[in-house]
Chains A and B, each alone.
Chain A
Amino acid sequence: MVADAYDAVIIGAGADGPVVAWKLAEAGLSVLLLEAGPFHGNKQWPKPHEEPGAEASSSVDDLSGELLDEQFTTREFEMVNNLLFGPADYKRGFWMRKFPGDGAILQCAGVGGTTLHYTGCHPRAYPAAIDEQGHWPISYADLIPYYQELEAVCDVTPAPVTAKEELFFRGAAAAGWDLIDEANVTRPGYRPQPNAIRPPDAMLHVDAGYDGDYSAADLTGHTLGVCDISGNPHPRGAPFEEKAKRASNISFVPLGLRTGNLTIRPNAFVTDIKTKPASGGRPIATGVTFRDTWSGDVESVAADVTVLAAGAIETPRLWLNSGLPTNEWVGRGLTIHYGDNVMGLWTAADLERTIGQGTVDQFQGQDIAARFDYPGLGMLQTVGTTPGIGAILGFGASAAGFAFQHDTTGEPWDTTGRLAGRQLKELLAGYRRMLQVLVVSDDHPHRRNGVTVRRGIADEHGPIPLVNYRPSQADRVRRDKLARIAAKILRAGGATHIHRSDSPPTALHLHSTMRMGKVVDDGCEAYDVGRLFVADHSVLANGLGGPNPTLTGQAVAARSAAQIQERYFT
């Protein structure tokens, strides 16, 4: 049951909310964590997309690896539809947002948030992006203790090498880049992904002759089948907390529930932050109103401290829809790591020579396990995909029209743009001999980019987020330079055909719409509303230089939890 009042109410159980929930609950505070989507792998909701189930969960005994195994089939279409940002009820469509440009926003709803889809990538920010770009009010050194603690909690280790990673590393080395073995990256080079995924069992070595069923009865850790984007509940048969991919539902939620001080209520969409006037003219937050996504029933809960952790789109939307004091940076400064896809295709004979087998077999290994860093430009990472996601990611969208409309003479790629027709089928026939590289650039925060709302363009939860994004010329140049480096690495690795998507702005990583130093202070409390904290990727003051943001978002959230205790509960 959900009570009428808590010490802290947290809005959103994505990557970051569970970190704050765990820290505050561990300190002895009563905490309510509200989540708009469902709770998978929990006995209170045996069929989370089919029946409303119970109201809330407060016990670690509710967590069930068996149910997670059943619900996370890893079939990509089913999992995309279950996890993307929408209500739990399978009969209903996604919640509407206006997309940036021709692209899309890829966020999930559910306890675990977008870490349900993420690939476990947990690198630190580039130190220069924090200390030298002039956006951050705190230093990189302030984050290091939090990085170290969370890396230990999430089992972050250098990712294992399978055929696709070896192919990329060989290309990067042949293109003249160095291996980086450092946690704090200040120079360009290639390295294994620091992944929050337990390493595979040694018995999965190619020479070990394993022939079992990959269940927990046999082994621990990642089972080396690409399915991290599709939820990855492996090893099958493992208890909830022993799943290999340390998404926030697996890593932080059990820690929080074990304290006995945390209640999690899924299927609860917060529509209003309540405030009351206070001395000095600065209102203070007193709690929230939320709506049950199955019944539409509205409830309110009071709290001494309110924490916004709904992500870089919904957090500013909720602020704006709650009529909180305006600030010229609320919702503004969105960075999305303006990205692209560059794909290499090899001949079987070339692959035999390079990696000793005639196929890349991108469906083996961890989804994203090899990377290239370039502080000042961004990063590249290999992506193993199952064919549906691979087709839409690599060939389905482009800002440059269809491939047949482009002459690529003089370019480092052979084709560019959307692929369709015979050309698409012919290229995808080589799926087992191809490898995609995701380009992730260091786009800078510009005030014009972000989230706005307009009266009248609304859904059941109020005006919908209108997401606007136009990269600057410098953002475009950074992305282009990285795409060219990617093409050279693939070519140096022996690829005979290279395709560049020239993707439209697509938001896989979303940050900096409620920036620290602009909307919140360096303890992440709102300048304009007391007792209201923001603890999600929206407070990041920029795009971290390009590295995947999950770890830094969580580190800042853990730091905010310490600030909340210091300011209001000592």
Chain B
Amino acid sequence: MIQQLFVDRLGRYLYEKGRLLGRYVRGGRTIHTIVTFRAAVDAVIPRTPDLAAELGPEHVPGGLEIGLAEYLISYVNHGFQLGLPQLGPRGTVALARPVATLLDAAALKLILRGDHTSPPSSTYVWPLISEDDSSPVPFLRAAGPFARLHPEDRLRAVGIIDEIDVEISRSEDELFEFNGGLVGQLVVGFAKLIYYCEWQGYEDYELPQSARKFTEDPGSIQGWAQTGYPGVANGYPALRGYLGTEDGPLGAGEIWTTVDDDPDRPAYIREEPGQFRENDYDTSDFEEVVPEETR
């Protein structure tokens, strides 16, 4: 109970601090939001120098090197809306700042529980500051508890948000649940989607589709280089054939290979496509494998 009160008070403090830090704004985003999102990105897709020896130098850079945190803020701020901006107050729902505040609240909860593995420290903030930032000072001042956590502890903090799970059920037949899962989806799931997709290959993704320029060098996209994905292709000469048996309707013609050497009914990959058999069916002996006994 006391801990909860403490978290609530700190939450309010952080909110106020966030408002004050709103003075340090870059393109509509507070420094606090930027450093918090950088901290999340750095935990999910970090720089990994030790992978160089194992996998090659292309596997070293992480999300921060391609400006993923800044774009993720923009995506989260523009991704959801409640109505036409010119008609009434329901425009876009800018979620980045509340998400950043929630990550700090989760970090505090982790620390209060004692579930963190390393003491919070500004040491963990320094890697979030790039040479392109004019000065490290605003970042160090703005960094909240989440950014001060060890990267693995940041993931534990995201896990705490996942635990927020409110279920309001008036009866067995009525359910209304709400939880913090969206936060993890945004800073973990979407971070991965954007990192490993083609996003980095656009000169400017914010332009309309007809004006977007896309790279002709797929290898320059970091996520693709690190997965070995060769880029979008019109097709591949990859056809091996069609699954089929000796006497069945699926697949006919020359045999490419055998995939099932069952002596009674071997299955092959054959040259020509076939069809499924329009079979009689009898379901009278059907039994539920897992009967619906418990709820």
Residue interface mask A309-347, B partner, CB < 8 A = 1:
000000000000000000000001000000000000000
Q: Which of A426-434, A511-519, A528-536, A556-564 contacts B (4 or more CB under 8 A)?
A: A426-434
Rounded to whole angstroms, the CA-CA distance of A458 and B81 in the bound complex is 11
A158–B283 touching, CB < 8 Å: no
A426–B55 touching, CB < 8 Å: yes
A138 at the interface (CB under 8 A from B): no
Among the listed B59, B181, B223, B230, which residue makes an inter-chain contact with A504, where contact means beta carbons less than 8 Å apart? B181
B234–A460 touching, CB < 8 Å: no
Residues of A within 8 A of B283 (CB): 127-128, 131-132, 140, 186
A173 at the interface (CB under 8 A from B): yes
B212 to A, closest residue via Cβ: A78
Rounded to whole angstroms, the CA-CA distance of A166 and B255 in the bound complex is 13
Residues of A within 8 A of B24 (CB): none
Contact A182/B276 with A47-B210, A460-B84 known, Cβ cut-off 8 Å = yes
A96–B82 touching, CB < 8 Å: yes
Q: Which of B9-17, B100-108, B140-148, B238-246 contacts A (4 or more CB under 8 A)?
A: B238-246
Among the listed B197, B261, B274, B276, which residue makes an inter-chain contact with A386, where contact means beta carbons less than 8 Å apart? B197
Residue interface mask B88-100, A partner, CB < 8 A = 1:
1010110000000
A5 at the interface (CB under 8 A from B): no
B217 at the interface (CB under 8 A from A): no
Among the listed B46, B209, B239, which residue makes an inter-chain contact with A205, where contact means beta carbons less than 8 Å apart? B239
| CB of B248 to closest CB in A, whole Å | 4
Residues of B within 8 A of A173 (CB): 259-262, 267
Residues of B within 8 A of A181 (CB): 244-245, 248-250, 274, 276-277
B250–A184 touching, CB < 8 Å: no
Among the listed A157, A332, A390, which residue makes an inter-chain contact with B273, where contact means beta carbons less than 8 Å apart? A157
Q: Which of B28-36, B119-127, B168-176 contacts A (4 or more CB under 8 A)?
A: B168-176
Q: Which of A220-228, A246-254, A256-264, A275-283 contacts B (4 or more CB under 8 A)?
A: A220-228
Size of the chain B interface, CB-CB below 8 angstroms: 117
B240-295 residues at the A interface, CB under 8 angstroms: 240-245, 248-251, 257, 259-262, 265, 267, 269, 273-284, 286-295
Residues of A within 8 A of B241 (CB): 160-161, 205
| CB of A312 to closest CB in B, whole Å | 16
A402 at the interface (CB under 8 A from B): yes
A460–B87 touching, CB < 8 Å: yes
A186-226 residues at the B interface, CB under 8 angstroms: 186, 191-192, 194, 199-200, 202-206, 208-211, 213-215, 223-225
Among the listed A158, A387, A420, which residue makes an inter-chain contact with B251, where contact means beta carbons less than 8 Å apart? A158
A450-471 residues at the B interface, CB under 8 angstroms: 452, 458-460, 464, 466, 468-470
Size of the chain A interface, CB-CB below 8 angstroms: 133
Residues of A within 8 A of B175 (CB): 448-449, 468-470
Rounded to whole angstroms, the CA-CA distance of A224 and B233 in the bound complex is 9
B87 to A, closest residue via Cβ: A296
A395 at the interface (CB under 8 A from B): yes
Q: Which 5 A-B pairs have the closest CB atoms?
A: A388-B197, A102-B181, A223-B235, A460-B83, A173-B260
Q: A interface vs B, CB < 8 Å? A: 47, 49-50, 71, 73-78, 80, 82, 86, 90-96, 98-104, 127-128, 131-133, 140, 148, 157-158, 160-163, 165-166, 169-170, 173, 178-179, 181-184, 186, 191-192, 194, 199-200, 202-206, 208-211, 213-215, 223-225, 227, 234-236, 293, 296, 332, 361, 363-365, 374-377, 386-392, 395-397, 401-402, 404-405, 418, 420-422, 424-426, 428-429, 431-432, 444, 446-449, 452, 458-460, 464, 466, 468-470, 472-474, 477-478, 481, 504
Known: A179-B267, A235-B235, A459-B83. 19 other contacts (CB 8 A): A47-B210, A96-B93, A131-B283, A158-B250, A160-B242, A165-B240, A182-B276, A199-B273, A215-B234, A387-B197, A388-B197, A391-B192, A418-B184, A421-B151, A425-B45, A425-B48, A425-B62, A460-B90, A468-B176
A-B contact list, 23 entries, CB within 8 Å: A75-B198, A76-B198, A78-B209, A86-B81, A90-B209, A96-B80, A98-B178, A128-B286, A161-B240, A165-B243, A181-B277, A183-B276, A205-B240, A206-B239, A364-B236, A386-B197, A386-B232, A396-B193, A420-B43, A422-B50, A424-B45, A460-B83, A468-B177
